[in-house]
Amino acid sequence: MGGHLNVNHLIFLGHGALWTVGLSVIALIGGGIVGFAIALARISPLKSVRIASAAYVQLVQGTPLLVILFLGYFGLAAIGLQVSPLAAASASLTLYVAAYLGEIWRGSIQSVPKPQWEAAEGLALSRTQRMLKVILPQAIRIATPPTVGFTVQIIKNTSLASVVGFVELMRSGQIVNNSLFEPFVIYAIIAVVYFAMCYPLSLFSQRLERRMGRGRVNLAPA
Amino acid sequence: MGIQLDFPAVLERWPSFLGGAALTLELAALATVFGALLGTLAAVGRGTHNALIATACRVYVEAIRNTPLLVQIFLVYFGLASLGLKFSAFTVAVTALTINVGAYTAEIMRAGFEAIPRGQIEAAEGLALSRVQVYWHIILLPAVERVYPALTSQFVLLMLASSVCSQISAEELTAIANYIQSDTYRAFETYIIVAVLYVILSLVMRAGFWSLGLVLFPRRRRLGTPL
């Protein structure tokens, strides 16, 4: 204990910040891939697929991320897999992000005007062609602002990976605090770093939303 | 590589689980009430002509919405301590959650206020309603009615987010789970049970808000608009 915040501490925090970015990218890519499958499953012509994917979304959205992280950490261990904190955090965040992105993207796909589907059908395009050539290009435009907005939630939520021992920004702050015991100063610095990462994205998302002429309330959890 | 699950060993701790769930609901209820008040004030503050107040409210909303709840909880926890104030973990948890959900509520309420047509307010003024009457009947209540679904979703998310308070040892559901799993060495089973309890809690909250909405907004029910 004791001592002052020095350059080494700041470098350590910087490493943590890089891992926060890294974990966010992993969660966004993993969650994006699974989430896209969820979005398609939610509008599938098969009823059983629709019900299964809806149940998945309800379960994940009704459970705190912290509990999902513990489930990932201890669950992977229970089936005999060696779990590093990185693997547990990546797997849990992927499942979590997929449920939210899946719903955001389902909404975007469904808000493409109905006549577009009908016109594509009238042109005798197959279901895959309709999706790829007519619906998705328009849905991507609609989905971009809320997806950027949700990225802010992902970055903030990676802070919870600290509880399974993954050394991202929050955890590195706790480690530095263990040697200095200046919690208020250190957590204030960490808050500023998170803000510096998230605020530009928030502004960008708001600008995109305004350009599309619709205001949307940000509804993701803290 | 088989999974061996032993639920009975964990389930015999059901009184602790129920106690944790009750405390989670209590935390959520208090933070919902205080957060709704704080958020409405902040939304009104952002719309005032006083630039100082409007800026302060904007800074509050943006600062909270762009930092993690976990960091906010630690800042409140150690911030109050460094001011020499000693509070229970529960009080700190309610304070931090209120500050957090207040910022999200402010954004939702602002969207509600902005959706009130100017003509309605002018008409009310034309009918010589007092400022308070205009604010209450023409602006606040219709705005809440309009954003009610978004508000209630936010409060359910707040309940789930309260799990983070386990990190400052407020004895809510997740903290209880942490105790039980370190006691029984049955981590996976414990967290499965806890996940189920959270799903139940969020269903209960949604049902509660839905019925409250039927009572609060009978007009909506008559119109048959989904809540």
For residue B202, the chain A residues in CB contact (below 8 A) are 61-62
This complex has an ipTM of 0.90
Q: Inspect the interface and report whether the beta carbons of A217 and B107 lie closer than 8 Å.
A: yes
Please give the pLDDT value at position B222: 55
Q: Inspect the interface and report whether the beta carbons of B68 and A194 lie closer than 8 Å.
A: yes
Q: Inspect the interface and report whether the beta carbons of A187 and B74 lie closer than 8 Å.
A: yes
Residue A218 pLDDT greater than 50, yes or no:
no
Give the separation between CA A199 and CA A155, rounded to whole angstroms: 11
Please give the pLDDT value at position A2: 59
Could you report the per-residue pLDDT of A178-203, keeping only the tens digit for each? Answer: 999 889 999 999 999 999 999 999 99
DSSP code at position B163: G
For residue A58, the chain B residues in CB contact (below 8 A) are 199
For the four alpha carbons of A126, A127, A132 and A134, in that order, the dihedral sign comes to positive
Give the separation between CA A5 and CA B39, rounded to whole angstroms: 36
**Helix, strand or coil, per DSSP, at residue B13:** coil
Contacts of B199-207 spanning 24+ positions with Cβ under 8 A: B199/A58, B199/A59, B199/A62, B199/A63, B201/B21, B201/B24, B201/B25, B201/B159, B201/B173, B202/A61, B202/A62, B202/B156, B202/B159, B202/B160, B203/A62, B205/B28, B205/B152, B205/B155, B205/B156, B205/B159, B206/B152, B206/B156
Q: Inspect the interface and report whether the beta carbons of A58 and B114 lie closer than 8 Å.
A: no
- Tokens standing for residue B216: 């609060």
Give the separation between CA A106 and CA A120, rounded to whole angstroms: 19
> How high is the mean pLDDT in each 10-residue block of chain B (227 residues)?
76 92 96 97 93 96 97 94 89 97 96 90 90 90 92 96 93 93 89 96 95 84 50
Say what the alpha-carbon torsion angle A117, A118, A120, A122 is, to the nearest 10 degrees: 170
- Tokens standing for residue A219: 């509804």
Q: Are A204 and A138 in contact (CB under 8 A)?
A: no
Please give the pLDDT value at position B168: 92
- Enter the pTM of the model: 0.90
